[in-house]
Each structure stands twice: as structure tokens, then as C-alpha cells.
Amino acid sequence: AQSVTQLDSQVPVFEEAPVELRCNYSSSVSVYLFWYVQYPNQGLQLLLKYLSGSTLVESINGFEAEFNKSQTSFHLRKPSVHISDTAEYFCAVSDGRGKLIFGQGTELSVKP
Amino acid sequence: GAGVSQSPSNKVTEKGKDVELRCDPISGHTALYWYRQRLGQGLEFLIYFQGNSAPDKSGLPSDRFSAERTGGSVSTLTIQRTQQEDSAVYLCASSLLAGTSGRANEQFFGPGTRLTVL
């Protein structure tokens, strides 16, 4: 069975500081990995995804994640965060057959 | 429509009553998914449809939960004899196809229905 673990439930950080949100997964089959973001009072949006090819994937707003098969990780990073990045971030895995298995979420709180 | 829509946005009901939650997927998307998000927790998969059939309903928590999809479009999630533990945000998502890699498997989420069972 597949599972996803997000190691930090809350991450407080100051504006312009770097941040890393950790995600580990377990799966016995090929995986497709996703990060979704949920801004306050908004719906879930896809931030970035790893399907195949380059293990480093980037989003349009400066986040990146690296698929590490040996460590079964897909950590999300940003070198300098903004107040507007305050949101809840969910890591998810799919086996390609349909459903997504989500982690518990990490609440990123960016302070001025 | 432009995105996935869900109705109602909020539903308050009394324990023991039945509720119906509706999802309207993005036009042309053949796959439709239901998830549940309880307070302070991640999303739990409930069921997904490819067309009108449900290849995976393994996440439905009990036989009080059922879902159907007609015409390959709108889906309804029904909860019978609601219990307080059913209180959650119910999210619907759709994708172009299910069971494939690449863009086709990207799921787009609706705003959710917040269900409160008193």
C-alpha cells in the first residue's frame, strides 16, 4: 500500500528566509508525486508534479521539489519565501491508476 | 464550466438525516474523484469514477456512503443516517482521464462542501 508522511505539521518562517517542507512516501510501484497548495479560504491547487524525467521540478512561483528514489523523498523548497506563500501544503502520491494518497499537510506561516 | 463546481458550499444537518452533495466536473473530464478532509487532517480518498463506473470505491468508510455518476458528468455523493464523525469538507476533483501518467492524470479540485452534523 502507498502512504505519504509529511514530517512537519507547522513550519513558521520569516519573510525572505529559505524553507523546506519535507515529504516521504512509500510505494511498491512506480510513483507519480505531487505538491498541492491550499491558500486561506481557497480550494486546493496543484503546485508542481513529478511524473518522469528530470528529478528536479519547479513551479512558476519559485518553489522546487526533487524526487529522490533512494530516500523515497519529495521535499519542497523555496530559497526566499514571501508573506503570500502562507498556506497549507499537501504532498500526494499516485500509482497512476487513479486515486491520490495525501499526506497530513504542512502549514507554512510566513511572518514579516 | 471553467472549473469544478460543488454544491452546496455549506450544509448543516442533524444526526440521522440523509444528505446529498453534488459535483460538476470540468467539461470533457472523464474521471471524477471524491475526497474527504476532516478538521486538521489530510485528504482521504473515497471513490473515483471513470465515466459512469467506479473502479475504486475502497475509501468509502461505511455502507452509509454511496456515490453515483450519470451521463459521464455530474456526480452525487449521498450519506445516509449522518453521524457527527461525518462532519468534514468533502472535495471533488476531476481529470481528463484516470489511470494514465502525464497531464491526463492531473486532478483539478472544486471548492468543497463543508458538512456539519449536529
Give pLDDT tens digits for B33-60. 999 999 878 899 999 999 999 988 999 9
Q: Are B86 and B32 in contact (CB under 8 A)?
A: no
- The angle formed by the CA atoms of residues B63, B48 and B43, to the nearest 5 degrees, is 80
CA distance A49 to chain B (A): 9
> Which among A42, A97, A102 has the least Cβ separation from residue B43?
A102
Task: Report residues of chain B scoring pLDDT below 50.
Answer: none
**Chain B residue nearest residue A48, CA to CA:** B106
Q: Which residues from B are below 8 Å from A104, CB to CB?
A: 41-42
- B100 and A CB contact within 8 Å: yes
Residues from chain A contacting residue B33 (CB–CB below 8 Å): 98-100
**CA–CA separation, B32 and B19 (whole Å):** 19
Write out pLDDT tens, residues A21-30. 999 999 777 7
Contacts of A43 in chain B (CB under 8 A): 91, 109-112
